[in-house]
Amino acid sequence: MTPQEILDQLRANFGEAILESKLDAPQPWISVAPNRTKDICFFLRDTASLQFDYLMCLSSVDNKDKQLSVVYHVWSTTQKHKIVLKAFCPRDNAHIQSVSSVWGTADWHEREAFDMMGIVFDEHPDLRRILCPDDYPGNPLRKDFKVPEFYQGIKVPY
Amino acid sequence: MGLLDKQFNNSNVILTSVEDLLKWARLSSLFQMQFGLACCAIEMMAASASNFDIMRFGVIPRATPRQTDLMIVAGTVTLKMATRIKRLYDQMSEPRYVISMGSCSNCGGPYWEHGYHVLKGVDRVIPVDVYVPGCPPRPEALLEGIIKLQEKIRNETLVKKSAYA
């Protein structure tokens, strides 16, 4: 299926929840409402003509002044087509619906995004930090992150 | 080393001081804590393997801090690991020695400026006896570090550990 057909199918089923799209980009993307990602992803996975059965990557992006976003690269191993989904959320109240019930891959990827960016994935089964220590202050990949002076009494800066 | 210099010919009698005997025993059986943190650990494994054979210096890996004399910090020490390294060091029985292997554990290495999660030198949490430079150091460099540590132990006295001098 072409990206345009995928977009039309999503528009027909979710209407309001499909926000923007840029289909002439090198990797065509569609942005969706952050509180509807689970339903949309279930639709992408289970519809016979789409069959997006493989989440290739889930990444988080800090768009500096504007917002945080999560980017989903999905691929269909049967239909051989792919599409990029984006979900934007405000910096100070970063909530996005978890898709870990759709693709198991998303579980740890969402934990990493939570650890590094502080994005809270609603309905995630086990949302803990995955890399940094549990008591680490802040989310290190946010653009406004400042390295702490001390961690447990250990001086951190060089 | 002087221990065997004072032996009588054709007998089993060796004259030495208790101090010399203890130092000889310590430096000849430096049991090493068996853990590695990053790519330096690969070089440490190479040093243990047959080409370099670190065991000919008496360095044998042990899997518990209670049985070890020597901690080789081989690799990047993250802040998460730093608290655990401190605990492992505290669990080792004295006399205990530390070799800091590679740039990361010496001073933070390539992560010195932007490593938000990297400890800038393991000497911020535990005292270090010998620093081995390199990124990563070759196995020969680690062997050199072991020999340096043995020299250091040889010059200790029972009253005072030279590591802190």
Inform me whether the pLDDT recorded for B31 exceeds 50: yes
Distances in whole angstroms, Cα of residue B123 to Cα of each of B37, B52, B88, B108, B153: 16, 27, 14, 11, 19
Query: Under DSSP, is residue B101 helix (H, G, I), strand (E, B) or coil?
Result: strand
The verdict on a CB contact (< 8 Å) between A156 and B82 is no
Dihedral sign for Cα atoms in the order B9, B12, B14, B20: positive
For chain A, give the mean pLDDT: 91
Query: Under DSSP, is residue A131 helix (H, G, I), strand (E, B) or coil?
Result: coil
Q: Which CATH number does the domain housing residue A9 bear?
A: 3.30.460.80
pLDDT (0 to 100) of residue B165: 41
Give the closest of B80, B108, B124 to A133, CB-based. B80
Q: Report the residue of B78, B105, B112, B117 to disrupt the A interface, i.e. the one with the largest count of A CBs within 10 Å.
A: B117
Residue B9: which pLDDT band, with cuts at 50, 70 and 90?
A: low
Helices (H), chain B: 18-28, 39-48, 79-91, 103-107, 139-154
For chain A, percent of residues with pLDDT exceeding 90: 66
H or E element that contains B60: strand B60-62
Count of Cβ atoms closer than 10 Å to residue A14 Cβ: 15
pLDDT (0 to 100) of residue B3: 57
B46-69 pLDDT per residue, tens: 999 999 999 999 999 999 999 999
Split into its structural domains, chain A has a count of 1
Q: Compute the nearest-CA separation of A127 from chain B (Å).
A: 19
A55-65 pLDDT per residue, tens: 999 999 998 87
Helices (H), A69-138: 106-117
pLDDT (0 to 100) of residue B4: 59
Q: Compute the nearest-CA separation of B36 from chain A (Å).
A: 18
Question: What mean pLDDT do residues A89-110 have?
Answer: 92
E strands in A10-101: 18-22, 29-32, 54-62, 67-75, 82-90, 95-97
Residues B109/B103, Cβ–Cβ less than 8 Å:
yes
Question: What mean pLDDT do residues A3-27 have?
Answer: 90
Question: Is residue B120 within 8 angstroms of chain A, CB to CB?
Answer: yes
Query: Under DSSP, is residue B83 helix (H, G, I), strand (E, B) or coil?
Result: helix
What is the span of the domain harbouring residue A15?
3-155
Dihedral sign for Cα atoms in the order A127, A130, A135, A139: negative
| pTM recorded for the entire structure | 0.82
String of b and e for B11-30 (b: at least 16 CB within 10 Å)? eeeeeeeeeeeebbebbeeb
Write out the residues of chain A at the interface with chain B, using a CB-CB cutoff of 8 A. Answer: 131-133, 136, 140, 145, 147, 151-152, 154-158
Count of Cβ atoms closer than 10 Å to residue B38 Cβ: 18
Residue B162: which pLDDT band, with cuts at 50, 70 and 90?
A: low
Q: Chain B residue with minimal CA distance to A155?
A: B124
Question: What mean pLDDT do residues A16-41 have?
Answer: 91
- How far is residue A33's CA from residue A87's CA, in Å, rounded to a whole number? 6
A111-147 pLDDT per residue, tens: 999 999 999 999 999 999 999 999 998 899 998 888 8
